[in-house]
Amino acid sequence: MSVTEYLQQSELFSGLTPGRVGQIVALGHEVVYDAGDAIIREGDPSDEMYVVCSGMVEVTVSRGAIPDVPGPPQLTSIARLGQGQMFGEMALVDRGARSATVRCVQDDTRVYVIPRQSFWDLCDSDHTTGYIVMRNIAADLSFKLRHRNLQMRLGGGER
Amino acid sequence: MIYKVSYVVLGKPHLGAIVNLDTPPRVGDRVQLGDEVCEVREVIDLIPPREDFAYLHVTCRPVGEAT
């Protein structure tokens, strides 16, 4: 399956014509990661978003991190994301630092990297693409919140 | 149709996953979530479908580690 075919199965591109998907695909590039590789790190500056073409990644946040206290912060996994899922989209929207660390948990995980600025430029120049993509990002963030709520209710997660 | 699935693993707050599938999950299916294999116990519609996407919630329980 081609990268474009993988990406067309992501909600990010739902409702876009193949031509418009192609315009976004042309902005980015694919990177392959192995299990344990860090893709983004909490606190780092951000200028890209990502879509998982195949494989799986894990999102973790640090708890109890105190800059003056030695030792690694405690990491808490908050989600695993597989084929078709996007991450790094919060920074795309708000330009803030990375709110979580994302590591690959399966060898040969393929991730598509989309640069923020050129993506914004495309959305600014084509408002139809911009509207559809931003609606899709909002829907995805909503789905992740619902997932997290269910996880806390059924999985025994902390409230 | 693309099935966007929220997996929650009973008793394992940090093992859930979100994955897109070509076919809907069914009760009794086994699914690998990272290094853990889980069995599907319940499948429900989470929110109404939109365009080519259906949104499902799956509750499952771990049955072992993947080899």
For B12-66, write each residue's pLDDT tens digit: 766 789 999 999 999 999 998 877 789 999 999 999 999 999 999 999 998 877 6
CA A155 to chain centre: 23
C-alpha span between A48 and A57 (Å, rounded):
16
What is chain A's mean pLDDT, rounded? 89
Asked if pLDDT for residue A145 goes beyond 90, the answer is: yes
Site from B1, B14, B33 to mutate, A interface, most A CB atoms within 10 angstroms: B14
Confidence band for A4, pLDDT divided at 50, 70 and 90: confident
Question: Is residue A48 a contact partner of residue A100, using CB atoms and an 8 Å limit?
Answer: no
Residues A62-84, mean pLDDT to the nearest whole number: 76
Task: Flag if A11 and B20 touch (Cβ within 8 Å).
Answer: yes
B2 touches chain A (CB under 8 A): yes
B34: chain A residues, CB-CB within 8 Å: 56, 58, 80, 105-106
Asked if pLDDT for residue A82 goes beyond 50, the answer is: yes
Domain boundaries, chain A: 3-149
Task: Flag if B2 and A105 touch (Cβ within 8 Å).
Answer: no
A79 touches chain B (CB under 8 A): yes
Can you tell me whether residue B16 is helix, strand or coil? strand
Task: Flag if A15 and B15 touch (Cβ within 8 Å).
Answer: no
Neighbours of A35 (CB within 10 A): 17
Superfamily of structural domain A3-149: Jelly Rolls (2.60.120.10)
Range of lowest pLDDT (A6-10, A15-19, A116-120): A6-10
A36 touches chain B (CB under 8 A): no
In percent, how much of chain A has pLDDT > 90? Answer: 67
